[in-house]
Amino acid sequence: MRLLLIRHGETPGNVLGQLDTAHPGPGLTELGERQAEALPRALVNEPISALYASTLVRTQITAKPLSRELGLDVEILDGIHEIEAGALEKLTDHESHRRYMSTVFAWTDGDFDRRMPAGPNGHEFFERYDAAIAKVTAEAAGTGTVAVVSHGAAIRVWAGNRAGNIDMEFAARHVLANTGIVALEGGPEAGWNLIHWDASPVGGLALADPTAEDPMGKSTG
C-alpha cells in the first residue's frame, strides 16, 4: 500500500508563527488556497483510491480541489489532527517553538513519556495516529494509494518514528512546507518505509512563503 501524507495549505497561523493546534482551527490564506488548487495537477499520476482529511478545517479545505478532480468524497478521519500545543497554544516566541518541537521530536526518538506542557505525551499521540492509519489501511484492504491530508508536526513525528528507513534526526532536519508530501509504502503489520519526502509546496517554490514564521514545518537541525 502507498500512503501519501499531505500537509495542509498555508493558514494565517502559519504566517504569524503561531502554535495553532486547537479545533476547529482557521481556514487557509489566499496563498494556501492556491497551494490546495495545485494538488490535483501535482498528483495526476497517482492512482488515489481514497482521500482523508483531519477534523481541523484547514485540511478539509485543502482536500477539496483534489476531491473535485478525483470524484472522491473527503472522509473526515479522527486521530490525524495536529499535535496539541497545550499550554503553548497560540504562542509565537522562539522559546515556545523550541519547547514544542523538542518535545515532539523526543517522541520520535522513543521518549514517549515526555509530555507537552498541559498537553499529550508521546504514547497518546502515537496511539491516536496509529489507530487512524490502521483504519485507512483496513478500508483500503492494504492495497492501492491513499491520500491523507494532515499536519506538519504530526506527519514529521509519526513518519520519523514509524518509517523503518529514517530516524528522528532525518525528520527533524527535513522541512515540510505547506502541501509538502511524505510518501510511504507498507502497512501497520509489515512496517512502513519512506519512498520520498517532498519538502516544498506541490506547486513549487512559486507557491512557497519564505517570510512565514512557520514552526511546524521548519528544520530543527
- Say which residue the cell 496563498 belongs to: 31
Cα–Cα dist 201/28, whole Å:
14
Residue 123 annotated to the active site: no
Sheet holding 74-76, edge to edge: 74-76, 48-53, 145-150, 2-7, 181-187, 191-198
Grid coordinates belonging to 213: 514564521
Instruction: HSE, CB side, 13 Å, CA atoms: give it for residue 43.
Output: 33
Grid coordinates belonging to 32: 494556501
Listed residue (129, 214, 154) closest to 178, CA to CA: 214
The length of the chain, given as a count of residues: 221
Cα–Cα dist 166/215, whole Å:
21
Residue 94 annotated to the active site: no
Cα–Cα dist 169/187, whole Å:
23
10, 37, 82, 89: which one is catalytic?
82
> Which of the residues are catalytic?
8, 82
